[in-house]
Amino acid sequence: MYRVVITGAESTGKTTLVEQLVAHYEAPYSREFVRDFVASIDRPIAENDLNTIMKGQIDYENAACKQSPRLVFHDTNLLSNVIYADYYFQHHPKELDLALSSTQYDLYLFCQNEIPWEPDGAQRDSPQARDAIHTAFEHMLETSSVPVARIKGKPEDRFYQAINAIQECLSKGRI
């Protein structure tokens, strides 16, 4: 099974890109658990929610993987949990590192932050926070052993860049 993660800071077109790729490849995907979690609570995320969010993300990813032996997309993954926990709480649970390092991903599609920022209730902070979080993603992905393709430009161009990155991995036998 080949797992492609669409990742990046808030308001960078990840969910839109996932939906396009899922339709194109007729493949399953995992939603971003924290989005559903935020919608289910009537308060800001607290530090003691981090393990619940991690477990929920893992459950979402595992459920998607059970749907296909071939190709699965993830609308973010545990890397996002690490970065956001570090940004908002200045640390993250050690279990998060273990879970992330024990999960095999095959390609990161890293959405760049030049799309105009849009508010999304309690889920999004500010354009300035997005820029800082984007930088954190850059640093984390630079040290990743998983191939990374930067996805940028207009939304319609991003889809074709993602397809090309996936096809390149397919041709090299990575996916």
Which pLDDT tens digit goes with each residue over 10-42? 889 999 999 999 999 999 999 999 999 998 998
Domain boundaries, the chain: 2-171
The yes-or-no verdict on residue 83 having pLDDT over 60 is yes
Q: How far is the C-alpha of 140 from the C-alpha of 135, rounded, in Å?
A: 9
Residue type, 91: H
Structure tokens at 109: 């599609």
Structure tokens at 24: 């194109």
pLDDT bucket at 69, cuts 50 / 70 / 90: confident
Structure tokens at 52: 């619940």
The CA-CA-CA angle for residues 37, 41, 45, to 5°, reads: 70
Which residues does 34 contact at the CB level (< 8 Å), separation at least 6?
45, 53, 56, 57, 76, 80, 81, 84, 123
What was the pLDDT predicted at 123? 55
Which residues does 169 contact at the CB level (< 8 Å), separation at least 6?
2, 106, 107, 147, 175
Pick one of 2.60.40.420, 3.40.50.1240, 3.40.50.300, 3.30.70.100 as the CATH number of 2-171.
Answer: 3.40.50.300
| pTM of structure | 0.92
Q: Are 161 and 151 in contact (CB under 8 A)?
A: yes
pLDDT bucket at 154, cuts 50 / 70 / 90: confident
pLDDT above 90 coverage of the chain, percent: 77
What was the pLDDT predicted at 107? 96
What was the pLDDT predicted at 144? 92
pLDDT tens profile 117-142: 776 665 557 888 889 999 999 999 99
The yes-or-no verdict on residue 174 having pLDDT over 60 is no
Q: How far is the C-alpha of 65 from the C-alpha of 71, rounded, in Å?
A: 8
**Average pLDDT for the chain:** 91
The yes-or-no verdict on residue 73 having pLDDT over 90 is yes
